[in-house]
Amino acid sequence: MTYRAPLPDIEASMRFAMASAISAASIDSGPSDSDRAFEDLGEGMAASILEQAAKYAEGVLDPINRNGDLTPAVLTDGNVTTSPGWVDAYKLWIEGGWSSLSAPADHGGMGLAHVLNAACLEMWSSANMAFMLCPILSDGAILALSRHASKELQETYLPKIISGVWPATMNLTEPQAGSDLNALRSKAERADDGTYKISGQKIFITYGEHDMSTNIVHLVLARLPDAPPGTRGISLFLVPKFIPDEDGNPGTLNDVRCSGLEHKMGIHGSPTCTMIYGDKGGATGWLIGEENRGLACMFTMMNNARLAVGLQGVAAAERATQQALAFAQERKQGRPPAWQGQTGEMAPIAAHADVQRMLMTMTAMTAAARAICYLTAAATDLSHRATDEMARQQAHERAGLLTPVAKAFSTDIGNEVTSLGVQVHGGMGFIEETGAAQHMRDVRIAAIYEGTNGIQAIDLVMRKLLLFDGRAMNREMADMRAIAEAVTHSNNPAFGSTAKRLVETLDSLEKSSIYLASQIAAAPTNALSGASSFLRLFGLARGGTGLANIALDVLTSSDATSAARPIAIARFFAEHICSSARGLEVSICESAESVQLAKVVFAQT
């Protein structure tokens, strides 16, 4: 099954995200120039880039995707050889200038909107998730260096990373420190020449070593000898594989090596490395930002990566949906009621009601996750692009609120949709030959890395819900209620009970928000017990209203025939998927005590 980029769906979601970002910016600040924030994507620019990105996805990345799964990267004498076709595909990546799409123009980037880059990342990750993990990390490093590094470091490394010639990595995790960076032990010693000597071990380092480039730029968290304990004592360092010479070319091999590759459930083509720093006295590193302030720098990179991981969830879901639909239209078995009495061959399984339910679920959930991710990207854009200070601040608050939802909800959807994809295939889905299982295996990690989805839920409830005095949440609720009201006023029978179900979902979200806000300080364990359910409820509300808005936009700008598909998707999501909102509300507001019975069930917990 080959991948085909769903450009009409992607472009519709982009239009919704940009329009929503602009509209939200004027709620408190009034009319501003925010409507010009995305003008560089006009006059066919966005459509042209998306078309070329789709060709790269379909023609370059998709054909080697299976190679990565069947022939993983291998480590020999400290050197990693990537899967067949990887090196050539990366050369074409560099030649296409794809690394520079949203990178800052003053260091060689195009400086285009992140929402455009998000759309491209979705397509590329659908075509080959394992390959795209390398460029995604470079995107985050570009942000971290452009905002926190010294001018000298920026001049030396940013042009190389932006061009794609020197890809970057992120080195956080250690054997004893997974999500808890308080336990980080890697050391940094000050050297007389202003550099630092880095020593320690890092695990789960994506593309920590490979053969696709002449150099690799590692961003490494480590502690100085006099650093305060906990996360307040972490610094961030740039540690290149090869130290650049006077001409800026790879020079001396640094004191860093790959000691092993993980054997993983999925994304086999992505080398996941154990990295050793300091075998020979310490790897040479340069400080990024200030000493003991590295976590703030790294969060710049991680927040970008979290949206990218959310897009991986969308990407895997889209790929699985395409394959399941094609299979269901070809596979013939049985006859549904409408076919009874007919003679001849059996019906395609896509004609059966339960298979239609699964296919509709896959399609609607994928579209909802896409809407949330693009909305987050557009808000991030406006937080930098708007000239009005209040508009920028509101967009910043919105992006902060939506980021954990984009990451966790979308990757949960990725797992659920790829599982349904296997189910649609029946027994053949369990056979590796069809490829359906690969989508499920590949995306399983997305709910785990870059902050587990449980951590995202905690961030949403314990930090983002009341951040900025709850302004961001209040504005988001107002925006979603306005969409539900617009569906009601459309008086279009094709929407069915969409408006009613959206209002019910928003009511449950509002009640849950009020309850959790009352518990955060008074009974934090109660708030934490309902955090994951709340994130899911938020995703249903934001995704459902997003799909309804997209449908209304198509209906307004086109005709009833063109709007039939997006209206059907929005209606199914509201009537079948949002129907769980009331149950989630009960879990959040009335069931915290039963979660805490874990200490009874598991006596040692």
Phi, psi of 513 (to 5 degrees): -65, -45
User: Is the separation of the CB atoms in 553 and 19 below 8 Å?
Assistant: yes
Transcribe 358-381 into DSSP letters.
HHHHHHHHHHHHHHHHHHHHHHHH
User: Is the separation of the CB atoms in 267 and 129 below 8 Å?
Assistant: yes
Distance CA 544, CA 572 (A): 9
What is the Cβ-side half-sphere exposure of residue 459, based on CA atoms within 13 angstroms? 18
User: Is the separation of the CB atoms in 509 and 473 below 8 Å?
Assistant: no
Task: Assess whether 450 carries a catalytic annotation.
Answer: yes
Task: Look up residue 17 and give its amino acid.
Answer: A
User: Is the separation of the CB atoms in 516 and 527 below 8 Å?
Assistant: yes
Three-state SS at 5: coil
Residue 190 CB neighbours (<10 A): 14
Hunting for tokens 């009335």 — which residue is that?
590
Please list, residue by residue across 522-547, b when 16 or more beta carbons sit within 10 angstroms of its beta carbon and e when fewer do.
eeeebbbbbbbbbbbbbbbbbbbbbb
Hunting for tokens 């969060």 — which residue is that?
299
Distance CA 173, CA 178 (A): 5
Closest by Cα among 305, 326, 316, 410 to 124: 316
Catalytic residue among 450, 476, 504, 575: 450
Q: Which long-range contacts (CB under 8 A, 24 or more apart) does 69-76 make?
A: 69/130, 69/266, 69/268, 69/269, 69/438, 69/442, 70/268, 71/269, 72/261, 72/268, 72/269, 72/271, 73/210, 73/261, 73/268, 73/269, 73/270, 73/271, 74/261, 75/209, 75/258, 75/260, 75/261, 75/271
Three-state SS at 242: strand
- The catalytic site residues sit at 450
